[in-house]
Chains A and B, each alone.
Chain A
Amino acid sequence: MPYEAVIGLEVHVQIKTCSKMFARVAAGYGQPENTLTDPVVLALPGVLPVMNKEAIDKVIQAGLMLGCTIAPVCKWDRKNYFYPDSPKNYQISQYDQPICLGGFVEIELPGPSRNVMGEHKKIPLTRIHLEEDVGKLSHGVHDSLIDYNRAGTPLMEIVSEPALHGADEAFAYLTALKTVMIYGGISDCDMEKGQLRCDANVSIRPAGSTKLGTKVELKNLNSISFVRDGIDHEIKRQIAVIEGGGTIVQETRDYDGQTGASQSLRSKEMAHDYRYFPDPDLMPVKVDEDWKARLRAPLPELPFDKQRRFMEKYRLPYTITAVLVRDRELSDYFEAAARLCDKPQAAGNWITNDLLRDLASSRQSLADSRVRPAHIAGLVKLVEGGAISSNIAKEVFVEMFATGEMPEALVERKGLKQSTDTNELEEWADAAMAANPKSVADFKAGNDKAINAMKGFMMKQSKGKANPRLVDEILRRKLAG
């Protein structure tokens, strides 16, 4: 029997702020253990939490980018549980009044081939709420150790509807969500640093059925590839259980990306009862239209919207737009270069081929690059205007990449300009014909290719600087005469 998978994702994204959600101490990753705490983080007696406005601004911006409805009023609730990752014995979260409702993530599925755009879908969201991250535990042989550096970091939980139907869709969803978050400056989404974490609820049902099957929650999917592999593995596992006559039990499973296997997590706790109640220490948040408008103004164009615009406005091929829009800085860089030279396709080629290749091989970021959009535009203009050949341009690129010298100055200084001096070209053409009598005869006898030997002679004489178009023109005129 064919089965259909139904997947919902809960994605936690740390919001990029200087300080923590309700505490004034700095938020950060990679600091020595327990050096990012203060009395609020440690829940010492008498402390009170105070909201970080920046975190609220950013979660609203995230919601606006994802088409959510921003709740006019939301509040904070305490999620009560005993676990040493939270020194308060509760986590401040949002239960029944999340800040963002609805919305969607636009995803692109793999296309029929690498250079063809795949199908786009809108995956609906249930909600986004804001909460505080918890401390990090590491487990020794006899005890567990706690680092509270992460505790209190602003964290949003983005919950999708159970609307994904395969591992590829989950992969596309996370990739798209991550790109949007990075575009908006909401988070850096570095999974290795725990800035983006994903849990997946996976169930299967007979294809065509509308009833949801029993779901299994997958945890510890700590890279986007592991999310795909883990879900793929879980779908196969569930199908095997059902086909073997078994039933799926609701449980939480841990997927190990290294071994590609999952195991049930034995929970010591009984069924969760978090006894949520409104946090009396924190006042509600009211968001009015003015506030939303202020936050909406600086938001960037969404990646897929930008890609469609690049394809239409600049007539760029899909593959180039896919590379450019993946990174907001790169796409801005491209647009600046395209504007300066008015040759978007040439600029796009230089950036996606030469610039990215040399940045990768020299391990530089775009921000480090000495080659700025004006360099790219200058180079494009030199080639398009016929001042240098595309072969010479490649050499110019390598040199300006290393030194940052402007291409116009570099070409001038090194005398790389194509010779368009017709007197000089005429002389070289005469010499070429004199040196290749056989080619002249062959050409006149109708062998068009015989002209290449004379062209080669002229290019050599000019040290590559002769303009190929003029060389061809002059030779043909002389040979016809």
Chain B
Amino acid sequence: MSKSSEINIDYVANLARLALTAEEKSQFSQQLGDILHYIEKLNELDVTQVEPTAHAFPVCNVWRDDVAEPALPVEEALQNAPAQRDHMIAVPKVVE
């Protein structure tokens, strides 16, 4: 997956819900390919002695106690919604 030729730009665009022009597709294929090529450099490092990690910092178990705090008033919670009805956010119908 490190070569730009292997990037299926239509598939990636669809997953991201992006509609791209033919020009953009070509441009972004090139750019994504360059990024992946750059990241490839990491493979040159010998990491056999390094433990895999999801984070750069050796920190774990960051949590809080189970204490409930006040909710947002519903008017505030919904103030950014493009459309609302009956105290709910209204979106285009998502089932047939």
A residues whose Cβ falls under 8 Å from a Cβ of B: 17-19, 24-27, 32-39, 42, 50-56, 73, 75, 80, 82-84, 137-140, 142-148, 266, 268, 270, 273, 275, 278, 280, 282-286
Main secondary structure of the interface of B (DSSP, over half): loop
B89 sits at the interface (CB 8 A): yes
Q: Are A26 and B68 in contact (CB under 8 A)?
A: yes
The residues of B that contact A34 with a CB separation of less than 8 Å are 74, 77-78, 87-89
Which single residue of chain A is at the shortest CB-CB distance from B68?
A26
CB distance from A38 to the nearest CB of B (A): 5
Tell me, in angstroms, the Cα distance from A143 to B60 when the chains sit together.
Answer: 43
Q: Which of B57, B70, B78, B93 is the one whose CB lies under 8 Å from A139?
A: B93
**For the side of the interface on B, what is the size category?**
35 or more
**Chain A residues positioned under 8 Å from B85 (CB to CB):** 143, 145
Chain B positions 46-93 with a Cβ under 8 Å from a chain A Cβ = 54-55, 57, 59-72, 74, 77-78, 83, 85-93
Contact A266 B96 (CB under 8 A): yes
Given contacts A18-B68, A26-B71, A37-B77, contact A144 B92 (CB under 8 A): yes
Interface majority SS (helix, strand, loop, mixed), chain A: loop
The answer for the CA separation of A270 and B88 in the assembled complex, in Å, is: 28
Q: Is the CB of A83 within 8 A of B88?
A: no
Q: Is the CB of B91 within 8 A of A144?
A: yes
Chain A hits for B41, CB < 8 A:
none
Q: For A19, give its contact among B54, B69, B91 (CB under 8 Å).
A: B69
Question: Which residue of B59, B62, B90, B94 contacts A51 across the interface (Cβ within 8 Å)?
Answer: B62
Chain B residues near A26: list those with CB within 8 A. Answer: 68-69, 71
Task: Say yes or no: A54-B65 contact (C-beta < 8 A), given A144-B94, A283-B59.
Answer: yes
A18 touches B94 (CB 8 A): no
Contacting residues, chain B, for A52 (C-beta < 8 A): 63-64, 66
Write out the residue numbers on chain A whose beta carbons fall within 8 Å of the beta carbon of B69.
Answer: 19, 24-26, 38
- Is B71 a contact partner of A283 (Cβ separation < 8 A)? no
Docked-complex contact B93 and A143, CB < 8 angstroms:
yes
**Alpha-carbon gap, A39 to B71, bound state (A):** 9
